[in-house]
Amino acid sequence: MSEDRHRLVVLGSMDEFVPLVRKARERGWHTIVCDGYPNTPAKLIADESYDVDPRDADAVARLCAEVGADGIVSSYSDLLAECCANIAQRAGLGCPLPPDRLAYLRDKSLMKGMFDELGIPYPKTARVRRGHVREDLEGMGFPCVTKPTDAWGSHGVRVLGDAREVEAAYDEVAGYSDAPYIFVEEYDDGLEFNLMSWVVDGRPVVLEVADREKSDDGEATVPWVSRIVYPSAHTDDVLGEATEMLQKVAGYVGLLNGPLCMQFFWAPGRGVRVCECAGRIFGYEHELLEYASAGAVCVEDLLLDNVYDPVAVSSRLEGHDPHLADVAAGLYFHGRDGRVVSVGGLPDESDPLVKETIVYYRPGEIISHQVGDKPYAARVYLCSPDRGELDRRTDELFQSASMTDGQGRELLLRNRRKVPEGTA
C-alpha cells in the first residue's frame, strides 16, 4: 500500500454509507468503517471495519491513531454528526465544526436561543418539565408537537391535542433525552420543506428546496413523511428568505465549509418559520438531488472533497441552480409492527420512472420500531422531467404497495399524496 494513500475513517455502516465508501475506494483511498453494528453493508465492502460504538469518542479516537487515519467523515444523522465532531477533536482530525459550535445545530435549546438572537422566526415553543406540564403550557395553542431536546430520527415527536395528552406522553418523549425537560411547539399548518445547502467559504450555496409531504390515516400518533419531492413547486417563493436565514446561521456557528440543512414551514403572506437547522445532510433522501440534477450534484463527492480538498467543492458547485433539471420523488412506506407474510405492489427498476426500490422487510421478517431498527418498510425513488407524470405514478404506487401479516392485515400505513388546494 502506498505511504501517501489517504486513510479515511467512515463513521456509519448502514446502506446509506455504501455509496460513500465505494466512491472513496474509487479515489484510491483506504477506507476504515466504524460503528457499533456488525456485518453491515458498508463494512462488507470497506478495506477495514471495526465494531466500536461511535458514542465512545475516546475509543474511536484511539482507533484512529492505531490505524493511522488522516481523515474522518460522516453525515445523514444528527447523532453521527455529533459523534464525528467529538472524535475528530480528540483525534486531531479535521471536521466542519467543533463540538461546541455544532451543538447549536443539535441541541434544540441552544438552537432556539440562536434563532432568538438572529431574529429567525420559529413556531411558538415551551420548555415543559415533568410535573409542571399544565403550568409550562400556559398560553400555548393546540394541537402541539412534542420533541425531546437532543434526539434524532423523529424519536419522541408526537402531535397532541391538549395538555392532558402531553402529560400522558411525557415519560415516553422524555425517555429519548437526558435533559430535564421536553420541548412542545405549536403545530404549524403551513407547507413543509427540506432545504439542503453547502457552505463554501462562509456562504451557503442552496443545493435544493424540497416539498416534504406527510400522510395521516388517523391511526398513527404523528403524521409520517410519505413523499419528498425535489425541487419544490414553491422554490421561488421561499428561496430568498431561506437563504438569508442560512447565512445568519452559518455566521453564528462559524461554519466555513460543510453541509447546512434546514427544515421549515411557509405559508403565503406569513413567510418562513424554521423548524430546525442541521449540520449534516438529510439521510434517505439526498439521492434525490443526484437524480433531479441529472447527476450534476453528488452528495458523496461533496462529503469526500470536504475532508481533504474543500476548494474542489467550490468548483463542483459553481453556477449550481436549485431549480434542477428534472423532478425526483422519494416515496417512504412505513409499517405497523408485525410479521410480514406477503409483499406486493412495489415496482422494480424496469419501470421507466423508477430509479431505485428498496424493500426492507421480506416475508418471514418482523417489522419493529425499536431504536436502531430499519427506518422504513420500503422506499421507492422516482424521477421524471414532468411533475404531473410523477404525481400520477405516486398515486398508483400508494394504492398498490402492500405488506400483509398471517391474518391478511395490512401492515403498511396508507400513504396519501398531498394535493394542493383548488386542484383535483
CATH class for the region spanning 124-186: alpha beta
pLDDT 10s digits, 125-159: 888 998 888 998 988 888 888 888 765 555 667 78
**In terms of DSSP bridges, do strands 71-73 and 402-404 run parallel, antiparallel, or are they unpaired?**
unpaired
CATH number of 7-95: 3.40.50.20
CATH number of 100-120+190-324: 3.30.470.20
- In the 8-state DSSP scheme, what is residue 322? T
Task: Give all strands (DSSP E) within 90-190, no chain letters.
Answer: 125-129, 144-147, 158-160, 181-186
Mean pLDDT of 182-187: 84
pLDDT 10s digits, 218-269: 655 578 899 999 999 999 999 999 999 999 999 999 999 999 999 999 999 9
pLDDT at 292 over 50: yes
What is residue 406's predicted lDDT score, i.e. its pLDDT?
A: 96
What is residue 212's predicted lDDT score, i.e. its pLDDT?
A: 96
What is residue 64's predicted lDDT score, i.e. its pLDDT?
A: 98
What is the chain's mean pLDDT, rounded? 92
What is residue 140's predicted lDDT score, i.e. its pLDDT?
A: 86
User: In sequence order, what are the beta bridge partners of 135?
Assistant: none
- Percent of the chain surpassing pLDDT 70: 94
pLDDT 10s digits, 53-70: 999 999 999 999 999 999
The grid cell for 411 is 401492515
Axis crossing angle, helix 78-91 with helix 57-67, rounded to the nearest 10: 60
> Closest by alpha carbon to 260, among 24, 16, 81, 10?
81
What is residue 169's predicted lDDT score, i.e. its pLDDT?
A: 84
**Domain residue ranges in the chain:** 7-95, 100-120+190-324, 124-186, 326-424
Look at 220 and 161; give whichever has higher pLDDT: 161
pLDDT 10s digits, 2-19: 457 999 999 999 999 999
